[in-house]
Amino acid sequence: MKQFTGAGVALVTPFTADLAIDYTALRRLVREQIAGGIDFLVVQGTTGESPTLSAKEKQLVLDTVMDENNGKLPIVYGVGGNDTRAVCEAFSHIPSSVDGILSVAPYYNKPIQRGFVAHYKAIADATDLPIIMYNVPGRTGANMTAETTLELAEVKNLVAMKEASGNMEQIMEIIRNKPSDFLLLSGDDAITLPLIACGAEGVISVVANAFPTRFASMVHSALSGDFESSRKEHYELLPITKLFFAEGNPGGVKVALEELRWMQAHMRLPLVPVSDGLNRAIVAETHRLESIVVV
């Protein structure tokens, strides 16, 4: 599944002042990712504010990204939920031209480990597309253990895990024991470099929305074994990475994207704008990073 290695980006959804989707800005965002050296695009993950989009809007966003991308990069589409039957049904509406699916672990109803296994096996049976699983207990309320991930890694079209548990020991256990053709992708921008050093094959990033060239360079340097360069890039990005997530996601990265004049920073409720102090800090750090030439 080499098409899902390297620097992936979880695309934000731009909105106009009246909270309609800004498709012009979305096209600009896709072009910037392609030009910046990003390896694959993820459409309608949580960073894209997917819970607030209607089914029709999600389809239009996917259509717009696919049209602007025009086959240049692999596209992963986010389809997940805590009703297994509904997820399986949703798969029937995904265009065959999509390259893969990102499916978050069931949230809120907090299944036990056998429930995670049964859920992912059921949705794997419902599609021929490759599925990237997504463990993010900070959002879902329940953690998928290393043992559960490794059991599911044996299922043919469960091809990767986006790991955002923050548990390094757990993640290293997966990397140590996983099949060679199963990918471990970082779900935390701040620890992408150390995870790649441990054997992860890439990342699905939020920060890359605003800094695709810089973030892709850091990932590619690390994957090629050039840790001197990747460490430098990692530490240049670390301050703004922390700022982006200080008051939730994607409020922080949208401030930077507005400062770059790629889109406006609007979000749909229940998300609200970041505080004035954080806004000023992100703007200042965005200008600092923009002044540093990517080698």
Residues annotated as catalytic are: 134, 162
Looking at residues 51-62, what average pLDDT do you find? 96
**pLDDT for res 195:** 98
Asked if residue 295 has pLDDT above 80, the reply is: no
**pLDDT for res 262:** 98
**pLDDT for res 1:** 67
Looking at residues 53-80, what average pLDDT do you find? 97
pLDDT band, very low/low/confident/very high, at 59 (cuts 50, 70, 90): very high
Between CA 32 and CA 194 the distance in angstroms is 26
Q: Which long-range contacts (CB under 8 A, 24 or more apart) does 83-88 make?
A: 84/118, 84/119, 84/122, 84/123, 87/123, 87/126, 88/122, 88/123, 88/125, 88/126, 88/127
pLDDT in tens, 95-126: 989 999 999 999 999 999 999 999 999 999 99
The matching CATH number, chosen from 3.40.640.10, 3.30.2010.10, 3.30.70.3270, 3.20.20.70, for 2-224 is 3.20.20.70
**pLDDT for res 293:** 81
pLDDT in tens, 169-211: 999 999 999 999 999 999 999 999 999 999 999 999 999 999 9
pLDDT in tens, 232-268: 999 999 999 999 999 999 999 999 999 999 999 999 9
Between CA 49 and CA 163 the distance in angstroms is 19
pLDDT band, very low/low/confident/very high, at 64 (cuts 50, 70, 90): very high
- Output the DSSP codes for the chain: -GGG-EEEEE----B-TTS-B-HHHHHHHHHHHHHTT--EEEESSGGGTGGGS-HHHHHHHHHHHHHHHTTSS-EEEE---S-HHHHHHHHTTS-TT--EEEEEPP-SS---HHHHHHHHHHHHHT-SS-EEEEE-HHHHSSPPPHHHHHHHTTSTTEEEEEE-S--HHHHHHHHHHS-TTSEEEES-GGGHHHHHHHT--EEEESGGGT-HHHHHHHHHHHHTT-HHHHHHHHHHHHHHHHHHTBTBTTHHHHHHHHHTTSS-----TT--PPPHHHHHHHHHHHHHHHTSPP-
Sequence ranges of the domains in the chain: 2-224
